[in-house]
Structure 1
């Protein structure tokens, strides 16, 4: 019996296809479907490429002007569509590439030939930044040590360096040079090298990837190589014409198919208990979480014991559900429930005839009246501002579930900034005691208290979930984490938390997993590569966090030096204007330029009132605008200019972001570390361009 040939698509093929016109894409789709049905058909003429270093790369004619580059080994049944372009450009790409199996990891890799890597390194050395002021008598320059001189060939191969490029990698002396060849190396090789340059050991890198390097590898077995996790970060085997058509019709939706090796290994397979994955903005945390939900639904869940996927806001939950539907079958989606936690709690308590109304806004209605009556009992001798009492309520009393004076005396107040003696706590407590009494008389409950009530009910009758997946974990407080722990029995694969302390924009919700009954010891990983934001934008965003304390969601600290972006672009601009009116006037030409270059543009501002001012300014130029309200979902296909607050922009991404912010931020509700994190979130919504407008 003859096995059907294995046809695969390379990520480079889809990436370049997305840049071609719709007419050309149609031709490529028609050709690719014929190719997928039978790559051995007599009508397909595999032509050798003049000057190519890899004889397994062949050219296949699409029409007179366009060529597909195919990887076709002399033996075996693997055919890979590697690249598509105008014939001269396609030949040029193929002449500069090699495809080979890494002899240590077993991954099928695509990388540049030595004749491209060496000039890139030399150009980087010539263009390397120099000191702004040269000393009159330059000191003798000490001999430079290559960054990876201490690594053996086996070490370099194990982190993904192609055997053919060992010599060139050994000649790298600076991070500037390493970045210059980033696009010429396999992604796992570049990541491993920059992590080692940042201080990690080879063992650290291999542990985080869960990579085995102790197996015999057949470097001619391409069918096995293309199935490894590393290979699946750049190749996907296409089983049928329907799958091929779906992928070629959505070449920009590569996140549905291609996962970094670390993402894929974390998304698939069994885990011994709760797992935490950290990663900066744009590192693919949500993508990983969605793929994990898909794997669990396909392999472990049932329609009676579903996977519950939750996040902090309704908008993010709705976006996640829609994205899951794009790569999960209807049968798989029946085993996944997606809902933000507040909505789940509301529905759960209602089924139990809960006779309290949950407060989501303390500044409105009966809740506001209850709070004001409580504040009337404050001890004026303490000279504490009203804001202190509300912060203390949220960050201490509600977060720790405190209901009595004795509990408040013992409460932990780390990071609150104001030291309170026992006497002062006793003087403060009547405010909180009265507030709780006022709420009880009105049958109102704070959200944190409702979480505790739900968790108490779950102890007697846990819901039928096989696993819980939590996105944006940094925005959940301790009572929410305890509830999430109660929602699923302790078992393998029970909990996955993904998050980033740099993006905590609801500071009252800081919590530690270990203090909430969640043990992640030995099951914590990090994602380092930023797939969204350019390195130039990432560096500016990180600079805004200078001096900002960032935690790892479990009483430890996190850092940013190991994060890197894979793309580059223009350096972000900062413009300053004397008045808000001048700043608003500058927006129109700026946004018009972005739209003319077919970019999605979002103007991000601190407050809802600011969104209206921006909308009025842009309407004067007859530009279509959409103000993203708290309950309004974004349409990625819209050609209108989006206008958003910094909080609402969370979870979104655009080609270009204009951040409008006052020079003096003292009038804003957010300040200090909170404001720094909000600015970080706003800047990292951009894929290509950021402009900061200050007034």
Structure 2
């Protein structure tokens, strides 16, 4: 080896996971090591030397401190890849444990510590695989003793991949060294242990096969998008380092950020298996669905960047990137800027859908001097109108929803049209005479708003959809006449007709489940029907607003162009399992007159089990919440301070607090903020525009956490009568409507729980919410331990 001058040092994928688990003092030594190594790898203090007992002659060790050694793969010239940091004894006592190779399918570098993988597989918790655990036993309940069975040899469990050969797994890209282990695993927990430190393609392939995907499907969707078209020289590590399949930090200076695990790092990372969704040519509208943390928004961001890169020079804003939530729209702008830079952002209109509708209506001069009111104020106006009229047959909530979803949603402009309007999913059947009564009340209500100079966002969306639909009809008429009469006809048309065009070439929608029928009509009219026109991402299990739509009935046909993401990259499987238990057994729609499930939805991330606790009173719960949050904040500050100290930067900018506290009501938000302040914790409420402060614990209602992400989440007040609210009892006579309200409440709780990446705590007082598994009885509140065990038993059984 002839090393002279500076060297480059990159970090191989998954090595950072192991390094982050090291003691703080060792991580600090790793920070110092990387600088010394880059500056001079021959520094005598580093003691860089080749590990003679490892195949290939490319693996080196170097001194991090007196107890730990860095393992470095020499890719050629001055290029090195940091593949692991291990205790000194582990490095030299068993060199055969270390395996490295160039994958023949992808051409990327892979490193495996067989002892770590085998240990993780062997230490998988017994009884937590599918079908191996009694829920009562997990809940801590007494299980009756089984009668003694005859002395019959137990049948060996069937391996998960018994239907596949070694050659098939190799063709899919599974690492050669892991083939024997892969063919032996029999439970999901053993599989999780195997893939935790396995190369990423091996992880993806095995998890998808375990989910039930067939060989051909995995080959097409997982392996081929990352396979190289080049002839792979398994001895050329320099060429392998340059390939995208070698998932290492792109620059050697990125290694510090990777080890520090900055939370924002995951906000633009596109998993290789998702590249195909981003780059595919779609012959019409397409949709990507998936549970929280599966990367839907990241797919949408990369899709926008991909479309922007293909635009011809010309008009600046030719892509619309929209969503329902104002907070999320602002976050999308920031993330797209981080991903693609200003050049991409300049080609994209990033705006929430109601603001876009307002702009369209304002350009026509039809807004006048009206004031906007939200749904809550509109409901109060409905209630006041019904009181003044002495109307008791219809309630405000029903009429408001009928007006929004049917009349405004379908752009119904006359009583005759209302008689013919579809009311699928609205629940209560109404006669022709009742429709006439409702239409009369709607007319009175809209007149009331006109007289007061008020307007709802739904009204604006419906008007914007009509304006844009009329524009689209003019474009169609113009193009039809042009085809029929030729270019000469331009001379006979007004200039305004000749300048007609669709505002956008492409529309990308995030959180698609939150949009109303009027929104979808508007979007359909904003872009020409054709290739790559509409790209939608969303999850109906996270619908927290009262918006329901059938896309096909609105002229948006996604059938045959839908994909589902099943692997969560954000949430641990402990949190995920518990959150899924909160959803219950209801059936969710798929935005197209069919149903959707989260079957096969899983995570390979591992963390502590969520904690759920019950208290006698709200005050006792509040005190415990403040104590817990203060402890979390202290731990986070100590971790950040230790990292800054290890870097030798006393004034270094530390990572912002990443703790959220969700509660059911606005009053509880204020109470939590005051109680945290007394505990010495800086807290900030989340308003319509987002958190008031960044560097603070964020407190808000369950609704406010839509689209946000935190390391730690506390959900308080998960109490009967609050989650769900008592108001839904009035809908019991209308089963369909009641079911929707229950689903919406479950979705709120599910969304809040899945905002957490590492730590989740759920608390209640008095009587727990019936959404907590095994508490949906009227026999009184079970003890905290009982609810805790039931929740975890249900969550674990799903994985």
Place the TM-score, normalised by the shorter chain, in its bin: 0.7 to 0.9
Q: CA deviation at 1:547?
A: 2.0
Residue equivalent to 1:282:
293
Structure 1 residues 443-497: Cα deviation after superposition (integer angstroms, max 9, x where no partner): 6544333223323433254554332221111111121122122222334333221
* Inter-partner Cα distance in structure 2 for 1:573 and 1:149: 37
Q: Which residue does 1:72 correspond to in 2?
A: 74
Q: Does 1:655 align with 2:711?
A: yes
2:148 corresponds in structure 1 to 137
Alignment of 1:249-398 (within 5 A): 253-255=264-266, 258-268=269-279, 270-300=281-311, 302=313, 304-356=316-368, 357=370, 359-364=372-377, 369=381, 372-373=384-385, 380=392, 383-398=393-408
Q: CA deviation at 1:282?
A: 1.2
1:476 aligns with 2:515: yes
Q: Aligned equivalents of 2:19 and 2:123: distance in 1?
A: 29
Superposition TM-score, scaled by structure 2 size: 0.75
For the 8 Å contact 2:662–2:702, the answer to whether it is kept is yes
Deviates more, 1:192-201 or 1:558-567: 192-201
Tell me whether 1:410 sits opposite 2:420 in the alignment.
Answer: yes
Match of 2:672 in 1: 614
Cα displacement string for residues 612-637 of structure 1 (whole angstroms, at most 9, x for unaligned residues): 1112222222322112222233655x
Provide the C-alpha distance between the structure 2 equivalents of 1:146 and 1:249, rounded to a whole number of angstroms: 38
Q: Compared with structure 1, are the counterparts of its residues 48 and 29 closer, same or farther at alpha carbon in structure 2 (3 Å cutoff)?
A: closer
| Corresponding residue to 2:192 among 174, 179, 187 | 179
State the partner residue of 1:156. Answer: 169
Is the Cα contact below 8 Å between 1:277 and 1:499 reproduced in 2? yes
Structure 1 residue 542: Cα displacement: 0.5
Matches of 1:450 and 1:82, distance apart in 2: 56
Give 1:677 shift: 0.5
- Which residue is 1:170 aligned to? 183
Contact 2:573 2:602 in 1 (8 A): yes
* 1:596 paired to 2:634: yes
Could you tell me which of 435, 441, 446 is aligned with 1:431? Answer: 441
Tell whether 2:547 aligns with 1:505.
no
Please state whether the residue corresponding to 1:496 is helix, strand or coil: strand
2:12 corresponds to which residue?
10
- 1:683 maps to 753
Q: Which moves more between the two structures, 293-302 or 309-318? A: 293-302
Q: Aligned-pair distance for 1:587? A: 1.5
Q: CA deviation at 1:42?
A: 13
Q: Tell me whether 1:48 sits opposite 2:50 in the alignment.
A: yes
* Contact persistence 2:7–2:37 (CA under 8 A): no
**Structure 2 gaps, min length 5:** 1-5, 138-142, 475-499, 637-656, 729-740, 766-799
Deviation at 1:55, TM superposition (A): 4.0
8 Å contact kept, 1:576–1:693: yes
Distance change >3 Å, CA 290–CA 362, structure 1 → 2: closer
d(CA) in 1 for partners of 2:692, 2:91: 37
| 2:663 aligned with 1:605 | yes
Instruction: Return the offset for 1:182.
Output: 2.6
Deviation at 1:562, TM superposition (A): 1.0
Structure 1, 94-103 or 494-503: larger mean CA deviation: 94-103
Higher Rg of the two aligned structures: 2
Contact 2:322–2:329 (CA under 8 A) maintained in structure 1:
yes
Distance 1:172 1:433, change over 3 A: same
Classify the secondary structure of the residue corresponding to 1:532: coil
CA displacement at 1:77 relative to structure 2 = 9.1
Unaligned stretches of 5+ residues in structure 1: none
Q: Distance in 1 between matches of 2:280 and 2:506?
A: 13
Deviation track 1:242-270 (CA, whole Å, cap 9, x = no partner) reads 87888789865433674311223323464
Could you say which structure has the greater relative contact order, defined with CA pairs below 8 angstroms and 6 or more residues apart?
2
What CA deviation, in whole Å up to 9, does each residue of 1:302-345 have, x standing for no partner?
A: 55243322222221111222222333333333223322122222
Aligned to 2:495: none
Instruction: Give yes or no for contact 1:371–1:435 (8 Å, CA) kept in 2.
Output: no
Structure 1 residue 531, shift from structure 2 partner:
1.7
CA distance in structure 2 between the partners assigned to 1:587 and 1:43 by the alignment: 49
Deviates more, 1:86-95 or 1:481-490: 86-95
Query: Hey, what's the Cα distance between the residues in 2 that align with 1:91 and 1:534?
Result: 34
Please state whether the residue corresponding to 2:327 is helix, strand or coil: helix
Structure 2 CA distance for aligned equivalents of residues 593 and 52 of structure 1:
45
58-67 or 394-403, which deviates more? 58-67
Distance 2:263 2:380 in 1: 48
Would the alpha carbon gap of residues 673 and 256 (structure 1) be closer, same or farther in structure 2, given more than 3 Å must change?
closer
Q: Assess, with a 3 A threshold, how the Cα gap between structure 1 residues 424 and 454 changes in structure 2: closer, same or farther.
A: closer
Cα separation, 2, equivalents of 1:392 and 1:355: 24
